[in-house]
Each structure stands twice: as structure tokens, then as C-alpha cells.
Amino acid sequence: MNEPDRPSPEALLRAAAQEGRGRLKVFLGAAPGVGKTWEMLTDGHQRREAGIDVVVGVVETHGRRETQALVEGHEVIPRREVDHVGHTLGEMDLDAILERAPQLVLVDELAHTNAPGSRHPKRYQDVEELLAAGIDVYSTINIQHVESLNDLVASFTRVRVRETIPDSVLEQAEIEVVDIPPGELIERLKEGKVYVPHEATRALGHFFSKSNLTALRELALRRAAQAVDAQMLEHLRANALAGSFAVGERVLVAISEQPHAAGLVRAGKRLSDALKAPWSAVHIQTQRDRHFTDADRRQLADTLALASRLGASTASIPAASVVEGLRGFAQDARATQIVIGKSDRSWLFELRNGSVVDRLVRTLGDVAIHVLPSGTPAAEPKRPREATRIDWGRPAHYLWSLLTVAAMTVLGRLLLEALDLGNIALLFLIPVMFAAATFGVRAGLFAGLASSLAYNFFFLPPNGTLTVSNPENVISILVLLGVAVVTSQLAARVRAQADLAGASARQNAALASFSRQLTIAATREELVQAICAEVARLLDVRTVLLLPSSDGPVLSAAYPPEDRLEQIEQAAAQWAIDNEQPAGRGSATLTASDWLFHPLRTTRGVLGVLGLARDDAGDPVRSDQVPLLMSLLDQASIAFDRMALEEENLKAQAVGERDRLRSALLSSVGHDLRTPLTTILSAAQEMKLRPSVELAEVVETEARRLNRFVANLLDMARVEAGALPMKPEATDLFDAVASAVHDTRASLQGHEVEVDIAPGVPLVRLDPVLLHHCLINLLDNAGRYGDPRTPIVVRCRRVPDALLLSIVDQGPGIPPGQEARVFETFTRLEGSDRVRHGTGLGLAIVKGFAEAMGLSVSATNNEDPHGACFTLRIPQALILATIEDREMS
């Protein structure tokens, strides 16, 4: 917890991370047509007139003349053309903007999805790269495109927006709300200033109803206020500014181990709902926490769990006093409302210790404090407190204290001639301070009493008696006792605070270790094993983790390994899943179970239940372990939620990839299957009229092309299914190349093939069939893309740890930066000077077959002569014989 006059280290680190980055400003609107793009372009003109270098990266005018007129006053970076499924799409040219390096770039529609083949799938990721390069960005977005509000907007508009941005993008941006009343927006829509007339009529009946626009407007204003509030808090923490400065309300509930604390939590929830404000529940750990009974600790844990279930952020922090802890936490959280209970204390207790409420009112003048009475309801009789056992310490503590007093007595007798009695008395402060600081308050008081007696008996006249002849010496004895009492109390307080700080540090270290173990888990199996193992280690219990299914909870992990659970445990786990409450031993439900099951709750429901048990058949969780367990469960739930989101994201990506492949396949089939079929049908009709050898050759050629196309599809299916039968054997590379050249003579017509393989090249252990397929596809690719009548070179050369088999053509080469992409499925890098045919499967098949044999394949460009070079790298492990080092061209 930070002191009020000390900047937050985390805030300073975040501010330092923004140094050198560009600033993002987002023009946020409630709906299309409110004028976001107009406002962005107008602001851009003002910045340009102020001497700022401004360019337009991408702006969508949607045919509006007024918007187009504003664009014409700016320098516009030409868009990059992308060919997608037969259509040419214009996307923002990220590389051109980075090369131009303006001070400010205007980028419309931040949530836009880029065309396939772009560097980033989303436009906001392009913006992130611009910001990282130090370029400021102005952009626009509607409130329905914010990820966290997507479901809420769809619930009342009945329209789900597919293009969204993460909330973190808005959190780092400066937000300007572009707003007009719903009535004016509807008029703009009717006038055709938003959509064309027939689309405007349909929109008025659905999305653009007045109730929808009013709700969207409220969402936009509220989301902007939340962002401003968060940025203000970050500034206050980074600059150590005191005060709440509340743009929005923040509620803090102070809870204790008393039963009435649950009522405070519910009151805090009602207050936060009424204010639409975030809220926290905090328990302040003081010295009195050491005297809590098991019932007190369990009550406190139940209250914290209740607050967490109701949506509060919970914390338990150590402090010297309740007032000091609450004041520090409230200042750090910038709380504007505090809910606290008024304890039923006697007037003598408040006279001795003071009132927490009164001291809070005096020290937190700018915070509203809600005080609730804490009377115990009649239906819930006050719980009898267990007698507090006094910890007198070990006998060794008193023995060491007595020995220290004896040592000071001997030292005092030795120095009696050199020191007066007043200085001798000071020597006896040493054992008092030593005993109090080392063994606690009671040992310190014992040392103080023993020191007073020893000083009186051995040094004050008459010596050898406890009689004091001089009244002045009485003052010395009383001062010695007073110092002993005060020193012992101070030492005990310091020790209690040190114990609290140590316990907090140990808990924080345990949570950090637990979080680290969950973070490195890459799969769901690793995650559940890590949760079970770490919770078992930290709490010294046995653990199981069960996942819900249609057939009941399924045992997913256990530590130590557990094969099965009894029927009562299964029932307890199912009850915990259904009711989102703990069940089993130590809870209020199905207590006959030997296991205690806690649900792992997330925003998407219960994703699993964690079971705990002890070998001694005692309660699975000790009362002092409950706060740590709650924190572990929260972290485990977050980790589970993260893993579930990652799995859904992977599934979505797989679906997107399947859609892309299906679209590419249909496009390829439409061209590469229909074209030869059309030629064959035409030739067959002609042959009915007049038999011709030439027409027969055309049919044969196109039939071979069809056969090759079908073979490629089947080969690609085998690659993706991993069903490649491997029969490696000793293979001569020269023979393999000669066979492939022979089988591709039709596609290589017009090209001379130069085979440059030295006679001494060793045999290699490869599958000859798969190698033949690789060489056929590489030669076919060279024949189609190489310039007509230019030679194709097949060469092999030796490097220290491999053989490199290369096929070189003299075509247009490969566009820079696309060397790896040519091996992707259905990829055809077509340009103005490249042949527009082929399935885009050949090189993908080469890569799949090569990797199956343990080879690697790469694509590069040749300088002299210019062209593409595809190389199969055969590692040393697959070379069967060695040859003498010789130069191989």
C-alpha cells in the first residue's frame, strides 16, 4: 500500500512504457452517422494548420460529398490493393505510412477486419504498430464495436456486430465522444445522409429506433466516463496527488469477523448498484487478529466470499490499526463512499480506545461515510466467544531474561567504584529491552521486575535487603519499572506488526508462485495438473479437480493421483457446480463427504470444481488458510477462463481457416476444373464432326491436367491427415531427377533442363515416391512461371552438414517478403507479370512431403540470372555414403 505522498511504482512504470510511443485519440460515437469521421477530419485540419505533419491513412466517406471535401484537403496515402476471391480490395498501406513517418495519421473504422493476406488480421493491430513507431493516430469507432459491450448491445438491438476491438485499446486512448440527439440522427437518416434511401428505410425499422439510439448514447457516454476516470486515477497515482477527484463514485465496505458484516456487504452492494459504481470489500488485519477463534476466521472468510460473489473486489491488508489501514486503502483506491458498522462497545472501551467511526470522520473529510448499526438480530443469537488463552511463553525465555539480569548485576558490582548509582540503574535497562524485544511483553515485564529487585537488593542501601532508605531511590525503581512496561509494550507492537507483515509476505509469495505456475501452463491438461499440485503443496492437502459434463462431474486431475471418487463425493461436486456454492465436509451441504468442493466461478459460469481433503479426516481447510484458499480459487478461475477463451479463439481461427480454404478451393475448382472440362467437351463435339489427331491430343493434354489436379487434391488431403506411408530406401538423386524430368516433359515444353549433379554425389535414404512427387511439383512450377525458352537448372551441391538440391527458373521471381508464404495452401502470388493459373497446391504438397521425409524446403530469388530458386535440404543423417570433398557447382 502506497503512502499518500509517494508515487505508485506501477503507475510510473506504465507511464515510462508509454515514452516514445504515439498517442491514440478515438472519436467514439453511439451509432453510424453521428459525425465521427467529420470530426476526425476537422481536427486533423486544425492540427495541420498548427504545423503538424498530418496524413490520411484510410477514410471511408461512404459517398458523402461533405466528407469527401474534407478529405481533399489532406495528403492521402494510397491504399494497398489486395486480390481476394476474384475481387480487388483496398486496405490501408501500413508499410507506406511507416516509411512516410508523419507526426499524425488519420485511420477510420478502428474495428475493421483486414483482407486475408494482410500483416495483421485487424486494423487496430495496424494502429498498435503505428503507435509503437512513435506516430500519433486519430481513429473512429462506434460503441457497439467494444468487445465487453457486444453482447449487451445485441440484447436490445437484435443486431450482433462481428467486428470488435478489445477494451484495452480504449483504455490507452484519449476519448472524444461525438454525440447528437437521437431525433437529429433519425432526421439525418431520413434525409439520406447516413445510408442510401432503401437501406435507410430498413434501418429505421430495426437498429435506428429511438429507444435503441437512446440506450446506445447512454452506453457511449458511460464508457467514456469510465475511461476518463481510470486515466485520472492513473495520473493521480503517478504524481502522488491526494484526494478522490471523483468523476465516478467508488464504494468501500469495511468488514470484520462479526456476523453483522454480511449485512454491511449487502448494503454496500445496494449502494454500488444505486450509484452504478465499482466497489471493494476490505478487512484490516491488526494485532487482535491473532486472537481470532476458528469460528471468527470462518465467519470472516464467509463474508469475503459473499462480497466476491456479489461482484466486489476483496482484500485483506495488515495495518497498525483499523483507522490507519482503512485510511490508507481508501486513499489508494480513491474511494468516495465508505460503509462501516458501528460496534456495540461499552463507553469505557470507547473512552480507552476511541471510536473508529469518529476518527475516520475526522481524518477523511472528503469521503462520505455510511454508518450502519451492528445490533445482533434476535433470530441470530450472539455467538459465545471462546476464552482467549494467554500465551505466557516458554520457560527458557524467563531463564534467559533472569540470566541477563544476573549478568548486569555482576557487571554493576564490578563497576560500582567507577559509577554512581544512577548510572548503575541504567545498566538494568539492557535486560529489559533484550527480553521485551526478543521474547515478548511478558518476558520484558518479568525482566523489569527482576531488575528492580536486583538493583534494590544489591545496590541500594541498606544492601542485602529490599528496604529503601533514601526516598530518591524509590523514584529510580519506579522509573525502571515504567521503562520496562513501555519498552515491553512497544516491542510487542512491533513484533505483532512484523508477524502480520511476514504472514502477508508469505501469502503474497505463495500467490505469486501459484500465478507463475498457472501462466506457464500451455494446455488445459497442464493447467488442471498445476492447480491441483500447487494447491496441495501450499495448503498441505489432497486435491482433485473435476470438470462438468452431461454425464456428471468428470475427474480431470488429482494430487496425489486419485482414480475415482465415491458417490457422495460425486453428488457434492455436482451440487457445487449447480449452485455455485461450496459443498462437502466443512460446508453447510452434504457434510458426510470426506472432500470439500469449491466451484471455480467465472463470468461464463462454473468451469470446474476443486476438491480438498486431509489424510487425518479433519476439516480440509484450517480457518487460518481460508483467505489464502479464496485467493487461490480466484486465480485458478481466472486461469481457467483464460484457457477457455484461448481454446475458443483457436476454434474460431480454425473455422476461419476452413472458410478460407473452402473459398479458395471453390475458386480453384471453378477455374482449374471447369477450364479443362470445357476444352474436352468442345474437342469431343468437334471430333464427332471430324476425327482429328490434334483434337485427340488436346483431349489427352487436358485429361492429364485434370488428373494432375485431382492427384494434387488427394496428396494435400494425405498431408493434412498425416497419412503418408513412408518406405525410405537408398535413392540416387540423379536417377530421381531424370525420372521427374521425363514425367514433366509436357509442362516443360519449350524449356531446356540442365541437370548439374556431380557423379560422386552419395546415395540418400528417402522415400522415392514422395521425392518423385516433390520434384515433379517443383519442375512443374518452374515450367509454368519461368520465362518461355529459358533453361531450367537442377543442381546439387554439398555443404558441411547437408546436400542442397535446387531447381532454378528464369521467371519473375518471388515478391520480397513472400518467400515463406508461397508454401501455404491455395496460395498464388500473382501479379501483372505472372501467369494466372495453377491450384496453389503444388508447393504446399512439396513442403508437406519434404517435412514427412525429414527434409526442409526453402524459396529464394536468384540475382544472375534473375528468377526463383527452390531448394530441398537433405540433412547429414539421411546421407548414406561419404565422398571426397570436391567442388560442386
CATH classification at residue 157 = 3.40.50.300
- 261 and 229: one domain? no
- 96 and 48: one domain? yes
pLDDT exceeds cutoff 80 at 190: no
Query: Helix, strand, or coil here: 865?
Result: coil
> What phi and psi, each to the nearest 5 degrees, are found at residue 751?
-105, 135
Residue with cell 510487542: 492
What is the tens place of the pLDDT at every residue in 505-563?
A: 776 777 777 778 787 787 888 888 888 888 888 888 889 998 888 888 888 888 888 76
pLDDT on residue 883:
46
pLDDT on residue 870:
93
C-alpha–C-alpha distance, residues 417 and 410, integer Å: 13
State percent of the chain over pLDDT 70. Answer: 78
- 860 and 729: one domain? yes
Last residue of a domain, one of 442, 462, 495: 495
Query: Helix, strand, or coil here: 146?
Result: strand
Mean pLDDT of the 24-48 span: 89
pLDDT exceeds cutoff 70 at 45: yes
pLDDT on residue 54:
93
Nine-digit cell string for 354: 476511541
Residue 276 binned pLDDT confidence (cut-offs 50, 70, 90) = confident
The pTM assigned to this predicted structure is 0.46
- The more confidently predicted of residues 784 and 732 is 732
In a domain, 188, yes or no: yes
pLDDT on residue 377:
44
pLDDT on residue 203:
47
Mean pLDDT of the 269-277 span: 85
- 158 and 261: one domain? no
pLDDT on residue 849:
82
- 857 and 771: one domain? yes
In a domain, 533, yes or no: no
pLDDT on residue 105:
95
pLDDT on residue 364:
76
Residue 826 binned pLDDT confidence (cut-offs 50, 70, 90) = low
What is the tens place of the pLDDT at every residue in 806-820?
A: 999 988 888 887 888
Residue with cell 474495428: 111
* Alpha helices per DSSP H over 354-420: 356-363, 395-414
C-alpha–C-alpha distance, residues 179 and 175, integer Å: 12
- The more confidently predicted of residues 2 and 115 is 115
- Of the candidates 171, 234, 227, the one whose C-alpha atom is nearest the C-alpha of residue 7 is 234
- 133 and 220: one domain? yes
Residue pair 712/848 in contact (Cβ under 8 Å)? The answer is no
Mean pLDDT of the 31-58 span: 89
- 263 and 222: one domain? no
Mean pLDDT of the 163-192 span: 81
In a domain, 34, yes or no: yes
What is the tens place of the pLDDT at every residue in 864-885?
A: 778 899 999 999 989 886 544 4
In a domain, 622, yes or no: no
Residue with cell 498548427: 50
To the nearest 10°, the Cα dihedral for 252, 253, 256, 259?
Answer: -170
Least confident of 72-86, 154-168, 342-356: 342-356
In a domain, 384, yes or no: no
pLDDT exceeds cutoff 50 at 887: no
Query: What count of residues does the chain have?
Result: 889
Quick one: which H or E segment has residue 229? helix 210-239
142: β partners? 29
Rounded to 5°, angle at Cα 356 from 353 and 357: 140
* Alpha helices per DSSP H over 258-394: 261-275, 294-309, 322-333, 347-353, 356-363
C-alpha–C-alpha distance, residues 150 and 700, integer Å: 57
Residue pair 243/5 in contact (Cβ under 8 Å)? The answer is no
- 33 and 118: one domain? yes
pLDDT on residue 386:
45
DSSP state, residue 879: B
Nine-digit cell string for 65: 460529398
pLDDT exceeds cutoff 90 at 104: yes
Last residue of a domain, one of 495, 510, 534: 495
Residue 13 binned pLDDT confidence (cut-offs 50, 70, 90) = low
To the nearest 10°, the Cα dihedral for 401, 405, 410, 416?
Answer: 160
For strand 104-107 and strand 54-58, is the pairing parallel, antiparallel, or unpaired? parallel
- The more confidently predicted of residues 862 and 737 is 737
Least confident of 233-237, 606-610, 801-805: 233-237
pLDDT on residue 247:
53
Residue 130 binned pLDDT confidence (cut-offs 50, 70, 90) = very high
Least confident of 12-16, 135-139, 266-270: 12-16
Least confident of 15-24, 395-404, 495-504: 495-504
> What sign does the CA torsion over 238, 242, 248, 252 have?
positive
pLDDT exceeds cutoff 60 at 11: no
pLDDT on residue 693:
80
- 164 and 267: one domain? no
- Of the candidates 695, 693, 669, the one whose C-alpha atom is nearest the C-alpha of residue 826 is 669
What is the tens place of the pLDDT at every residue in 634-692?
A: 888 888 878 877 777 777 776 666 665 555 555 555 555 666 777 888 888 888 888 88
Last residue of a domain, one of 372, 394, 419: 372
**Which residues, in sequence order, are CB contacts of 592 under 8 Å at separation 6+?**
568, 585
pLDDT on residue 8:
59
Mean pLDDT of the 37-47 span: 90
In a domain, 679, yes or no: no
Mean pLDDT of the 392-417 span: 85
Mean pLDDT of the 761-788 span: 87
In a domain, 833, yes or no: yes
pLDDT on residue 376:
46
Residue 417 binned pLDDT confidence (cut-offs 50, 70, 90) = confident
In a domain, 365, yes or no: yes
CATH of the domain at 765: 3.30.565.10
* Alpha helices per DSSP H over 366-470: 395-414, 421-427, 429-439, 441-458
Mean pLDDT of the chain: 78
pLDDT on residue 806:
92
- 59 and 205: one domain? yes
- 65 and 22: one domain? yes
Quick one: which H or E segment has residue 225? helix 210-239
pLDDT exceeds cutoff 60 at 473: yes
pLDDT exceeds cutoff 70 at 211: yes
How many domains does the chain fold into? 4
Least confident of 52-61, 196-205, 333-342, 418-427: 196-205
Radius of gyration of the chain (CA): 40
pLDDT on residue 378:
40
- 801 and 861: one domain? yes
- Of the candidates 109, 91, 112, 127, the one whose C-alpha atom is nearest the C-alpha of residue 36 is 109
Residue pair 617/610 in contact (Cβ under 8 Å)? The answer is no
C-alpha–C-alpha distance, residues 250 and 278, integer Å: 5
Mean pLDDT of the 132-157 span: 85
Choose the most confident range, by mean pLDDT, from 655-669, 712-726, 783-797. Answer: 783-797
State percent of the chain over pLDDT 90. Answer: 10
Mean pLDDT of the 397-418 span: 87
Mean pLDDT of the 58-80 span: 84
* CA of residue 741 relative to chain centroid, distance: 53
pLDDT on residue 831:
44
C-alpha–C-alpha distance, residues 608 and 638, integer Å: 12
Q: Where are the beta strands (DSSP E) in 421-487?
A: none
106: β partners? 56, 138
pLDDT on residue 888:
41
Least confident of 179-183, 361-365, 844-848, 881-885: 881-885
pLDDT on residue 534:
87
Nine-digit cell string for 306: 459473499
CATH of the domain at 317: 3.40.50.620
Sheet bearing 596-602, strands edge to edge: 554-559, 542-547, 605-613, 596-602, 583-584
**Which residues, in sequence order, are CB contacts of 752 under 8 Å at separation 6+?**
791, 792
Containing domain of residue 116, as a range?
Answer: 9-239
